[in-house]
Each structure stands twice: as structure tokens, then as C-alpha cells.
């Protein structure tokens, strides 16, 4: 079977809405993918501010933002379809939305961007609320990308995504295990903005800085790192792990960037050591915006040297849009009524077929 799906993803780094038009093909249980078109629609300062602070709104204001963001997403998809000249080719949309509240301990997670509104604006079927059922079943609701690691990128032993939060899929007793590792790009970007940059291109600012041991020790002692997987970080928790200590520090910004990069590399290495591969030279696929940070990649290589891990940074489209591709896959599995969230990853009581379906057209 062949599916042509648009996957939508908005991450904690708040750089924009990722849109990927993906062809997925399943033959006798084997899945392949091709990114036919992709783009990132940058957020205006207003949208970035509204999404970042959404959880502090009153209930009426929150609900208005939920539907307004869904309308904005639908319009962005319509423009994407026009720009890429793919009218009448898209079968449906799988939308992750933007996480504004994540409290799995309270069986609660919320990704705004109303699926019904997206369906109404685009006239296409929309699958949304991809994490909710897993959380209702007692799971972390995160990460949900490992189903894609298993079905689309199974040739790799480890899968590291360095977005606003770094998360990893590791081998464990014959099943994938995944968890959020540590804060990542949302911290690096905030520090770079103090230096007047949107982000630290290639990690050049961090490379010019020096390690501040006191800051590194402070970051490493967070109790989150003592917890066993499955575990996940909300955006708020990730920010609180690194701030306000970094923002209030008197150290040079480049030194703080340097130190934060080392912290990320160290925590990834710690995660890998807990779940060793039985291969002599295991491979780690690295995606997300952090894969373009050459200084971070250099430090990861050094931190993982004892495990003899080969880091694989794929083509730019896969680096940037892997999560949107996996959202498309999760949508395809939901369309087929097949498992799309793995309890071995999230800790839920069972695997689930997650996602609400909104039909954007009538018959």
C-alpha cells in the first residue's frame, strides 16, 4: 500500500512548523518513505510568544488560542500545497500540534492546534491528539517517535534526536526503549539570543568558549538523571533544569554555550552506557537541529569514543524533517488501525492505536 501524507510537527525549540509531504509504502510489513516536499514555516515573534506561554492563559483564552493555532496551521498547509503544486495528491494530514502541557503523572498532556479546525480549513482528513491515549493508559506519552525508528530506521542501533529536548531510542531486551535525555536546543538557542544570534550556527560561539566546571556540575546533578526510563520532560521542566542558573550566571555567554554542549554530550553518553549494544561498532542516527551543530557532534564523538559508536548524520531533509515524517507514519498506522505507540517505550499498560480522526470532507 502507498500513502501520501502530510506530517506536521512543532517542537519545543519554537523555530517554526515543520511540514513534510511524505510517500509511505508498506509491502509485506516492510515500510519505506520518501520526502516528496518539505518546508519549515517560521513563527512570528507573536506566535512564538503565544505558544511558549499558552499554559498560563485563562481557559477561554487558551481555547481561543487552540483553535486560532489550528486555523493558522490549516492555512499554512493550504499555502504549502499550492506552493508545492500537490493539489489532489494529499490523502490526509497527521498533526502533532504543539505541546503546551505535559503531566503524565496526572494522566494529562495537551498539544494545541485543533484538529477539527485544520480539517475544516484544508478539507482533508486530519489525525491529531497523537499522545493522549498513551497518557490515559498510564504512559509517558513520549517519546512517540520510536515507532518510526523501528519501522523506517531499523538499520541503526541508536536513534538520537537533538531538538529543543534531546531524546534517544536505545536497544533493550529485544525491544526499543526511548526517553528524553536532557534539555538541548531550546537552551542553546536562548543563550545564542543573548549574544544577538537566533542560534549558534555550527556551534561556533560554543567552540570559542571555555568549560565552566561549576556550571557543568550544577547541570549534571539534576535528579532527573537518576530516574530510570521510561521518562519524559515537559518543556517547562526542561527549561527549569537549565534556567535560571544559566541566564543568571555571570560567566561569558560563549562559555555557557560551551558548557551546555558538553553537558548534552555527557548526558547522551551516560544514556548509551546504561544500554550498551552487543555490536562491536554500533551506529547512531543523529537528527534534529542539533545535528547541524558541528561542535556538538564533535563533542558527542569524543564522549562516545569508548563505546566505539559511529555517528550517522543523514541528508539535510531527514535531519530537519524526521519527526514530521514519523508523524505521517503514525497517521498512516492510525488510518490502518494498527499499533502506533509502543508501551515498551512509554511505560503504558499496553500498546495503543492513538489519534483522533477528523474528516475534512463530506460524502
State the CATH number of the domain containing residue 28: 3.30.420.40
* In a shared domain, residues 14 and 116: yes
Residues 62 and 199 reside in one and the same domain: no
Same domain, 60 and 116: yes
84 occurs within a structural domain: yes
Residue 153 lies in a domain: no
316, part of any domain = no
Residue 317 located in a structural domain: no
Q: How far apart are CA 312 and CA 287, in angstroms?
A: 9
- Reported as a single tens digit per residue, the pLDDT across 184-218 is 999 999 999 999 998 999 999 999 999 999 999 99
- Whether residue 103 is found in the same domain as residue 179: no
Q: How many domains is the chain built from?
A: 2
SS3 string, 5-55, reads EEEEECCCCCCEEEEEEEEEEEECCEEEEEEEEEEEEECCHHHHHHHHCHH
Same domain, 47 and 86: yes
Are the C-beta atoms of residues 59 and 100 closer than 8 Å to each other? Answer: no
User: Do 164 and 245 fall within a single domain?
Assistant: yes
H-type alpha helices, the chain: 45-52, 59-84, 115-122, 132-136, 146-151, 185-194, 204-208, 213-220, 235-242, 253-274, 294-303, 316-335, 343-346
Could you tell me the CA-to-CA distances from 290 to 45, 73, 117, 141 in Å, in that order? 22, 25, 32, 23
Taking the chain, what is the end-to-end CA distance rounded to the nearest angstrom?
23
pLDDT at 244: 76
DSSP state of 251: S
Kindly state whether residue 147 falls inside one of the protein's structural domains.
no
Round to whole Å and give the CA distance between 18 and 287: 14
The span from the CA of 17 to the CA of 324, in Å, is 9
Q: What does the pLDDT look like over 159-180, one tens digit per residue?
A: 999 998 999 999 887 777 889 9
| Residues 312 and 156: beta-carbon distance below 8 Å | yes
Dihedral pair phi/psi, residue 50, rounded to 5°: -65, -40
As a whole number of angstroms, the distance between CA 326 and CA 7 comes to: 7
CA torsion 343-349-351-357 (nearest 10°) is: -110
* Together in a domain, 51 and 104: yes
CA 134 to chain centre: 17
| Separation of alpha carbons 148 and 24, rounded Å | 11
Q: Is 70 helix (H, G, I), strand (E, B) or coil?
A: helix
- Evaluate whether residue 112 is within a structural domain: yes
Instruction: Give every CB contact of residue 248 below 8 A, 6+ residues apart in sequence.
Output: none
The answer on 331 and 263 residing in a single domain is: no
Contacts of 54 by beta carbon, 8 Å cutoff, 6+ apart? 62, 65, 98, 100, 112
Same domain, 271 and 226: yes
* C-alpha span between 180 and 178 (Å, rounded): 7
Q: Do 239 and 353 sit in the same domain of this protein?
A: no
Could you give the CA distance from residue 91 to residue 75 in angstroms, rounded to a whole number?
A: 17
Q: Which residues contact 306 (CB under 8 A, 6 or more apart)?
A: none
List the domain range (segments joined by +) for residue 115. 2-140+322-358
How many residues does this entry show for the chain?
A: 363
Residue 142: predicted pLDDT: 80
Answer whether residue 313 is part of any domain. no
Query: C-alpha angle with apex 354: 23 to 173, nearest 5 degrees?
Result: 90
Task: Find out whether 40 and 16 touch, Cβ atoms under 8 Å.
Answer: yes
Question: Do 189 and 304 fall into the same domain?
Answer: yes
Same domain, 286 and 184: yes
Residue 150 counted as domain residue? no
Residue ranges, the chain, pLDDT below 50: none
Amino acid at each position: 500500500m502507498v500513502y501520501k501524507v502530510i506530517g506536521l510537527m512543532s517542537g519545543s525549540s519554537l523555530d517554526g512548523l515543520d511540514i513534510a509531504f511524505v510517500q509511505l509504502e508498506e509491502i509485506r510489513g516492510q515500510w519505506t518513505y520518501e520526502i516528496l516536499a518539505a518546508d519549515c514555516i517560521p513563527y512570528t515573534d507573536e506566535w512564538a510568544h503565544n505558544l511558549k506561554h499558552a499554559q498560563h492563559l485563562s481557559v477561554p483564552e487558551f481555547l481561543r488560542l487552540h483553535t486560532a493555532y489550528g486555523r493558522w496551521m490549516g492555512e499554512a498547509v493550504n499555502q504549502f500545497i499550492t506552493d508545492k503544486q500537490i493539489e489532489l495528491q494529499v490523502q490526509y494530514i497527521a498533526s502533532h500540534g504543539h505541546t503546551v502541557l505535559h503531566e503524565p503523572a496526572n494522566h494529562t498532556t495537551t498539544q494545541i492546534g485543533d484538529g477539527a479546525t485544520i480539517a475544516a480549513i484544508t478539507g482533508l482528513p486530519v489525525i491529531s491528539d497523537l499522545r493522549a491515549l498513551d497518557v490515559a493508559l498510564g504512559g509517558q506519552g513520549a517519546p512517540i517517535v520510536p515507532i518510526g525508528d523501528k519501522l523506517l530506521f531499523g538499520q541503526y542501533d541508536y536513534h538520537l534526536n537533538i531538538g529543543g529536548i534531546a531524546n534517544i531510542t536505545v536497544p533493550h531486551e529485544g525491544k526499543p526503549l526511548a526517553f528524553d535525555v536532557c534539555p538541548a536546543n531550546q537552551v542553546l538557542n536562548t543563550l545564542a539570543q543573548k549574544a544577538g544570534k537566533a542560534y549558534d550556527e555550527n556551534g561556533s560561539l560554543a567552540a570559542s568558549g571555555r568549560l565552566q566546571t561549576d556550571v557543568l556540575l550544577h547541570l549534571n546533578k539534576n535528579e532527573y538523571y537518576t530516574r530510570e526510563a521510561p521518562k519524559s520532560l515537559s518543556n517547562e521542566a526542561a527549561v527549569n533544569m537549565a534556567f535560571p542558573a544559566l541566564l543568571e550566571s555571570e560567566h561569558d555567554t560563549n562559555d555557557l554555550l560551551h558548557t551546555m554542549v558538553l553537558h548534552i554530550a555527557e548526558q547522551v553518553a551516560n544514556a548509551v552506557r546504561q544500554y550498551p549494544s552487543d555490536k562491536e561498532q554500533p551506529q547512531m542516527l543523529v537528527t534534529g537541529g542539533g545535528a547541524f551543530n558541528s561542535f556538538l557532534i564533535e563533542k558527542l564523538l569524543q564522549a562516545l569514543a569508548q563505546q566505539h559508536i559511529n555517528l550517522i548524520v543523514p541528508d539535510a531533509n531527514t535531519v530537519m524533517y524526521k519527526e514530521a515524517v514519523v508523524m505521517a507514519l503514525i497517521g498512516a498506522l492510525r488510518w490502518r488501525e494498527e499499533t502506533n505507540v509502543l508501551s515498551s517505550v512509554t511505560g503504558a499498560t499496553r500498546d495503543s492505536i492513538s489519534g483522533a480522526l477528523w474528516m475534512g470532507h463530506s460524502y
